Structure formats: structure tokens, C-alpha cells
């Protein structure tokens, strides 16, 4: 009998999970413990020497987190996952595994603003240098690559929404340069887009958003695509050279196509320390069970809102790749055929004052700095997240005075639209 390959909905509920072997608990328990008792001295030695898999200490691994890791890796089509404390922590751990001081990575200019800050400022303290490229001009990635380049970083659907990146084309640049392509798949989630299918080598997530999906936990995930040859030319010494921390073990040689995830865990998470709380892993796992249903509804509601906004006389423009008239619609159809997600931006003809008025008058929408909740969320970046920038910088970051960002929730779409309608009607 051939073994059935489970579908995405089944994996979202079952991947990585078994009834608890001790109690029979059907839902993955919260293993709220710092440490795990060894069978004996030999078992402890084997665990510390990476000769056997198992639990030591929850900074390095935890059984609740392990279920989440296996589930997301399985949904993304990767070989292994590593759960960490936040999306930003995932980016630090990935880069720590790839980069040495003085080296570079190329990143798309169209990224979440917090990632732009992290790359421009925090990463400079490690002497990891970002070179920016324009996702609308694939040649700019090619030109940005140098001998010092160690990775390329893009978002599948870019926050603040609307922009879909041509993953396959940029994967081609990465292959020619001999570097891994890292895709932040937070806004799409593997339900809408699977970057590894298009040539990505590493996927990162802020679990805080749609994977958790309920606005209750911060978390991050790294997925190893298992696709990259870390030993070629010895450019990634963390993976291809003997590690003094592990008696000279060469991680790529020992762990093959999941060596990157292992390196992130045993050299990154172990030593830098941003571990995910098992309680958060539990909440996020519960969220992931309904991911397909939620992403479908998010995308349907967002499209209805975008189509309504386009026709509103106070709205100057709408940026949402799901709209058939949107410049990114063709890419959305290729990479996200089931829907373009929940997040969009639009511009108000009344500029800054109209933006402030709208966020002050919504009732169903929550005015806050997050995306990916069941609830509909709204923010006016120019008066909040981007207020410290100059006017020119705001415009360049897609946060001009008239811009409003929505993360459309799962409420009835008529209620969502009615709330925007009443708030826009206020004079
Ligand atoms: C696309 C994207 N990547 C990464 C992050 C950072 O994630 P976290 O807030 O979990 O650190 C965010 C947060 O908004 C995001 O939207």
C-alpha cells in the first residue's frame, strides 16, 4: 500500500504531534520546565556531544516547542525548524549562523520597517552590513552582490502590504552568487505561499502574526529548506569547519540537509539565548490548527475591503496585490494563488489630518501596531511607527502623511466595511 501524503489542512492540525506518551493527553501539553532529567551519565554525555537527540534545557529545546518546529517545517516543506522568542530573534540567529564581521547581505528595500531598522542599526554592531536592492528591479540584486555577500533577504508579501516579491527571479540571483536566499514569509504564511518551492533556502517567520493568529503571543521561527550546499568553497565556517564547542564536529558533514537548523540551535540559540516560552508555543500551535481557514477568510475579507475602498471618494489610492488592477496582481497570482493576505495600505485624499481622524473614529477596528490578529487592526504610520522620520524618509518608506495600513480581520466583512464607512464619514 502506498503511504498517503497528508494535505495542508491535515498537517496544520497533526504534523509533529502525537498523544502524550505518558498521560494520553491529545493536545500537546505545555512542558513548562527549564530542564530534563538524564537517563544516566552516558545519556547526558551523548546529549551534550550531539550524538543523540533529546532534551537538556529549555533554552536549547523543549518538547512543546519541538511540535511547533516540526509543524511549521512540514507546512513550509523544509527539513527542520527552530522556534525562537520573536521574528526579530529569528533574523538575528539566522544571520549569526551565516555572517562573520565585515561581511554583507543583500536585502529588499520593501521590508517591514522594524527589519529595516534592525539591519541598518542593530546589525551594524556585529559589523554585518546590509546592501539594499529594489524588488521591482531584479538587476539591482545582481548588482548589489559582491565577494563579501553571504545571503539575500526578501519578504514574500512585503509588510506594509501590497508588494509581492518575485521569489523565483531572486532565487536565481542567489544561486548564481552561491549564497542562500532567506524569505520572510510572515505575511503570506505557508498557506498562501511556499517560498522553498520557488528556490528559497531558508524561511523565517514572525509567529506573532498570522501563524499564531490571535494577537496573544510573540514568537519566531526559522525553517531550513535543506537545499543549500554549505560546504562548497567553505564560505560558511559555522557549518563546514570543525566546531571546537563540539569536539571538532563538522555540522554539515554530520547533519546533512538539516545542518543549518542544527547550527542555528546549538551555536545560535544556545549561546545568544532568545528561547520561545513553551506557553507561547502552545498558544501558537493552537492558532496554527486553523491557519488554512483563517488565511482564506482574511484574504476574502481583505479583497472585499480593498474593492470597496477603491470606489470611496475620500480614498486616493489602494495598494493590495489581490486587486485585479494592482501592479503586483500578476505576481500575486503566481506566488499566492489562494489569496493576497490581510494587509493593505491606502492613501487618503485629505492627507495627514484625514489619517488621524480615521484612526480616531473607528470602532470595530483596533488602533494599534500589529498585524495578523483575528480582529481588524488599523494604523496611521506617519503619526505613530514612522513619526521620527523626516517627511522625505516617510514617503520613501511608504509611510507618507496620507497612508493608512489595515490588517483585515475575521469579523463579518459587512461590519468591517461599515466601520470604515462611518469613520470616513465623520467631518
Ligand atoms: C514581516 C515581519 N517580519 C518580522 C517581524 C518581526 O517580528 P516580531 O515582532 O515577532 O519580532 C514583523 C513584525 O511586525 C513583520 O511584520
pLDDT digits (tens, 9 = 90+) for 161-183: 689 999 999 999 999 999 999 99
User: Is any atom of ligand 1 closer than 6 Å to the C-beta of 252?
Assistant: no
Q: Are residues 244 and 321 in the same domain?
A: no
Range of the domain at 283: 29-287
User: Is any atom of ligand 1 closer than 6 Å to the C-beta of 149?
Assistant: no
Average pLDDT over the chain reads 96
User: Is any atom of ligand 1 closer than 6 Å to the C-beta of 87?
Assistant: yes
| Amino acid 248: pLDDT | 97
Q: Are residues 259 and 338 in the same domain?
A: no
- Tell whether 13 is covered by a domain: no
Q: For residue 294, is pLDDT > 70?
A: yes
| Amino acid 1: pLDDT | 57
Q: Are residues 141 and 185 in the same domain?
A: yes
398: domain CATH number is 3.90.1150.10
Ligand 1 atom having least distance to the Cα of 88: 11
Question: Which residue among 209, 214, 406 is best mutated to probe the pocket of ligand 1, counting the most ligand atoms within 8 A of its Cβ?
Answer: 209
Q: In terms of Cα–Cα distance, which of 143, 155, 85 is closest to 119?
A: 155
Average pLDDT of 276-301?
98
Average pLDDT of 129-152?
97
The residue out of 254, 287, 320 marking a domain boundary is 287
pLDDT digits (tens, 9 = 90+) for 335-379: 999 999 999 999 999 999 999 999 999 999 999 999 999 999 999
The residue out of 239, 264, 287 marking a domain boundary is 287
Q: What is the residue with the minimal CA distance to atom 9 of ligand 1?
A: 87
187: domain CATH number is 3.40.640.10
Q: For the chain, what is the HEC assignment?
A: CCCCCCCHHHHHHHCCCCCCCCCCCCCCCCCCCCECCCCCHHHHHHHHCCCCCCCCECCCCCHHHHHHHHHHHHHHCCCEEEEECCHHHHHHHHHHHHCCCCCEEEEECCCCHHHHHHHHCHHHHHCCEEEEECCCCHHHHHHHCCCCEEEEEEECEECCCCEECCHHHHHHHHHHHCCCEEEECCCCHHHHCCHHHHCCCEEEEECCCCCCCCCCCCCEEEEECCCCCCCHHHCCHHHHCCEHHHCCECHHHHHHHHHHHHHHHHHHHHHHCCCCCHHHHHHHHHHHHCHHHHHHHHHHHHHHHHHHHHCCCCEEEEECCCCCCCCCHHHHHHHCCCCCCCEEEEEECCHHHHHHHHHHHCCCCEECCCCCCCCCEEECHHHCCCCCCCHHHHHHCCCCCCEEEEECCCCCHHHHHHHHHHHHHCC
Q: For residue 325, is pLDDT > 70?
A: yes
Q: For residue 237, is pLDDT > 90?
A: yes
pLDDT digits (tens, 9 = 90+) for 74-128: 999 999 999 999 999 999 999 999 999 999 999 999 999 899 999 999 999 999 9
Q: What is the residue with the minimal CA distance to atom 7 of ligand 1?
A: 87
| Amino acid 47: pLDDT | 97
| Amino acid 390: pLDDT | 83
Beta strand pairing status for 377-379 and 366-367? parallel
- Tell whether 3 is covered by a domain: no
User: Is any atom of ligand 1 closer than 6 Å to the C-beta of 266?
Assistant: no
pLDDT digits (tens, 9 = 90+) for 56-85: 999 999 999 999 999 999 999 999 999 999
- Tell whether 254 is covered by a domain: yes
Q: For 348-403, what is the HEC assignment?
A: ECCHHHHHHHHHHHCCCCEECCCCCCCCCEEECHHHCCCCCCCHHHHHHCCCCCCE
Question: Which residue among 155, 188, 208, 342 is best mutated to probe the pocket of ligand 1, counting the most ligand atoms within 8 A of its Cβ?
Answer: 208
Q: Are residues 270 and 350 in the same domain?
A: no
The pLDDT-based confidence of 302 (bands split at 50, 70, 90) is very high
Give the span between the Cα atoms of 261 and 80, in whole angstroms: 6
- Tell whether 104 is covered by a domain: yes
User: Ligand 1 centre from 314 Cα, in Å?
Assistant: 30
The pLDDT-based confidence of 300 (bands split at 50, 70, 90) is very high
pLDDT digits (tens, 9 = 90+) for 8-28: 999 999 999 999 999 999 999
Q: Are residues 217 and 351 in the same domain?
A: no
Q: For residue 30, is pLDDT > 70?
A: yes
Give the span between the Cα atoms of 177 and 180, in whole angstroms: 9
Residues 36-43: contacts with CB under 8 Å, at least 24 apart: none
Query: Crossing angle for the helix pair 63-76 and 278-289, nearest 10 degrees?
Result: 40
Q: Are residues 213 and 304 in the same domain?
A: no
- Tell whether 100 is covered by a domain: yes
Question: Which residue among 86, 88, 385, 398 is best mutated to probe the pocket of ligand 1, counting the most ligand atoms within 8 A of its Cβ?
Answer: 88
Beta strand pairing status for 315-319 and 343-348? antiparallel
Q: What is the residue with the minimal CA distance to atom 6 of ligand 1?
A: 87
Domain count, the chain: 2
Contact call for residues 246 and 110 (beta carbons, < 8 A): no
Q: Are residues 118 and 200 in the same domain?
A: yes
Q: Are residues 113 and 176 in the same domain?
A: yes
Q: Are residues 280 and 364 in the same domain?
A: no
Ligand 1 atom having least distance to the Cα of 111: 1
pLDDT exceeding 70 applies to what percent of the chain? 100
- Tell whether 8 is covered by a domain: no
User: Ligand 1 centre from 203 Cα, in Å?
Assistant: 13
Q: Are residues 234 and 325 in the same domain?
A: no
Q: For residue 397, is pLDDT > 60?
A: yes
User: Is any atom of ligand 1 closer than 6 Å to the C-beta of 217?
Assistant: no
Please report, for residues 20, 134, 373, 400, the alpha-carbon distance to residue 342 in angstroms, rounded to integers and kept in the order given: 35, 23, 10, 21
Q: In terms of Cα–Cα distance, which of 212, 261, 202, 400 is closest to 317?
A: 400
The residue out of 240, 268, 287 marking a domain boundary is 287
Q: Are residues 209 and 224 in the same domain?
A: yes
User: Is any atom of ligand 1 closer than 6 Å to the C-beta of 208?
Assistant: yes
Q: Are residues 248 and 341 in the same domain?
A: no
User: Ligand 1 centre from 88 Cα, in Å?
Assistant: 6
Contact call for residues 309 and 420 (beta carbons, < 8 A): yes
- Tell whether 23 is covered by a domain: no
- Tell whether 159 is covered by a domain: yes
Amino acid at each position: 500500500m502506498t503511504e498517503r501524503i497528508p494535505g495542508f489542512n491535515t498537517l496544520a492540525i497533526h504534523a509533529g504531534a502525537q498523544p502524550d506518551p505518558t498521560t494520553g493527553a491529545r493536545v500537546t501539553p505545555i512542558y513548562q520546565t527549564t530542564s530534563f532529567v538524564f537517563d544516566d551519565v552516558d545519556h547526558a554525555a551523548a546529549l551534550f556531544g550531539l550524538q543523540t537527540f533529546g532534551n537538556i534545557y529549555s533554552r536549547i529545546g523543549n518538547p512543546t516547542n519541538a511540535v511547533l518546529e516540526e509543524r511549521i517545517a512540514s507546512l513550509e516543506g523544509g527539513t527542520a525548524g527552530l522556534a525562537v522568542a520573536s521574528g526579530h530573534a529569528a533574523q538575528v540567529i539566522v544571520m549569526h549562523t551565516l555572517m562573520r564581521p565585515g561581511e554583507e547581505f543583500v536585502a529588499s528595500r520593501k521590508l517591514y520597517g522594524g527589519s529595516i531598522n534592525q539591519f541598518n542599526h542593530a546589525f551594524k554592531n556585529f559589523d554585518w552590513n546590509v546592501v539594499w536592492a529594489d524588488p521591482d528591479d531584479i538587476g539591482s540584486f545582481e548588482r548589489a552582490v559582491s565577494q563579501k555577500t553571504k545571503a539575500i533577504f526578501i519578504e514574500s508579501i512585503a509588510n506594509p502590504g501590497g508588494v509581492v516579491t518575485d521569489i523565483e527571479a531572486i532565487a536565481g540571483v542567489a544561486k548564481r552568487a552561491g549564497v542562500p536566499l532567506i524569505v520572510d514569509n510572515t505575511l503570506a504564511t505557508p498557506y498562501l505561499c511556499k517560498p522553498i518551492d520557488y528556490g528559497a533556502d531558508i524561511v523565517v517567520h514572525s509567529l506573532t502574526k498570522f501563524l499564531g493568529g490571535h494577537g496573544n503571543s510573540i514568537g519566531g521561527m526559522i525553517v531550513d529548506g535543506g537545499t543549500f550546499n554549505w560546504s562548497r568553497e567553505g564560505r560558511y565556517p559555522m557549518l563546514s569547519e570543525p566546531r571546537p564547542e563540539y569536539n571538532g564536529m563538522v555540522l554539515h558533514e554530520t547533519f546533512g540537509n538539516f545542518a543549518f537548523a542544527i547550527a542555528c540551535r546549538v551555536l545560535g540559540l544556545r549561546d545568544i539565548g532568545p528561547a520561545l516560552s513553551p506557553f507561547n508555543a502552545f498558544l501558537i500551535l493552537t492558532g496554527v490548527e486553523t491557519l488554512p481557514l483563517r488565511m482564506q477568510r482574511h484574504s476574502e475579507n481583505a479583497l472585499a475591503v480593498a474593492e470597496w475602498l477603491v470606489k470611496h471618494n475620500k480614498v486616493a489610492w489602494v495598494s493590495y496585490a489581490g486587486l485585479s488592477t494592482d501592479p503586483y496582481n500578476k505576481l500575486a497570482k503566481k506566488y499566492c494563488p489562494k489569496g493576497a493576505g490581510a494587509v493593505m495600505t491606502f492613501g487618503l485624499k485629505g492627507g495627514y489630518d484625514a489619517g488621524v481622524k480615521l484612526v480616531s473614529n473607528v470602532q470595530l477596528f483596533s488602533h494599534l501596531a500589529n498585524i495578523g490578529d483575528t480582529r481588524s487592526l488599523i494604523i496611521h504610520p506617519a503619526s505613530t511607527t514612522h513619526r521620527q522620520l523626516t517627511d522625505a524618509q516617510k514617503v520613501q518608506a511608504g509611510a507618507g502623511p496620507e497612508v493608512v495600513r489595515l490588517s483585515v480581520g475575521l469579523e463579518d466583512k459587512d461590519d468591517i466595511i461599515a466601520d470604515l464607512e462611518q469613520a470616513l464619514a465623520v467631518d
